[in-house]
């Protein structure tokens, strides 16, 4: 049985991989999600993504919108993972999205709930933590 610290390291490693494949628009991005998964926000409520086809469509729309705003990459500012069970965890992350001239497009904070599925971590939910709120742990923003 893994320790909480080992699970936290696995979760952080997963998250770094997730951002890497997001930035490269690598097809392995889609392997990072459970199906269905949900995006939860105060503005839109609960939006579910039922399967891989829906995920690909959503990702395409997200990338089109980001690129239209000048996005070229996202950088991790901080990652705080928590083990909640042997096969269940949470990540709170701060990310900066950059433009081609290296200026900041935006800074975001998100909370992810994950489960281990067949030995691989998969995202079950994504929620944005809007400023000025800190989210779980009241951790100062990066």
Domain annotation for the chain: domains and CATH numbers: 4-131 (3.10.450.50)
Q: What is the mean pLDDT of the chain?
A: 96
- pLDDT tens for each residue of 130-141: 999 999 999 999
Q: Does the predicted model carry a pTM greater than 0.85? A: yes
The rounded percent of the chain whose pLDDT value lies above 90 is 94
Report whether the peptide linkage leading into residue 38 is cis, meaning its omega lies within 30 degrees of zero: no
- pLDDT tens for each residue of 81-118: 999 999 999 999 999 999 999 999 999 999 999 999 98
What is the per-residue pLDDT for 6? 97
Query: Among residues 9, 11, 15, 14, which one has the least CA distance to residue 77?
Result: 15
Q: How many other C-beta atoms can be found within 10 angstroms of the C-beta atom of residue 112?
A: 23
Which residues touch 106 (CB under 8 Å, ≥6 apart)? 96, 97
Edge-to-edge strand ranges of the sheet holding 71-85: 45-49, 33-41, 120-128, 104-117, 88-99, 71-85
Question: H or E stretch including 3?
Answer: none
- Asked if residue 1 has pLDDT above 90, the reply is no
Alpha carbons 29 and 27: distance in angstroms, whole number: 5
Determine the longest span between alpha carbons in the chain, in angstroms.
46
Q: Assign 44 a pLDDT band (cuts: 50, 70, 90).
A: confident
């Amino acid at each position: 049985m893994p320790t909480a610290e080992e699970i936290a390291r696995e979760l952080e490693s997963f998250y770094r991989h997730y951002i890497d494949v997001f930035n490269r628009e690598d097809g392995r991005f889609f392997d990072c999600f459970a199906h269905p998964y949900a995006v939860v926000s105060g503005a839109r409520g609960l939006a579910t993504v039922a399967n891989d086809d829906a995920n690909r469509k959503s990702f395409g729309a997200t990338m089109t919108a980001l690129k239209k705003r000048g996005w070229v990459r996202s950088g991790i500012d901080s990652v705080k993972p928590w083990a909640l069970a042997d096969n269940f965890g949470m990540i709170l992350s701060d990310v900066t999205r950059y433009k081609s001239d290296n200026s900041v497009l935006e800074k975001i904070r998100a909370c992810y709930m994950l489960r281990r599925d067949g030995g691989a971590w998969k995202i079950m939910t994504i929620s944005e933590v809007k400023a000025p709120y800190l989210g779980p742990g009241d951790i100062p923003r990066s």
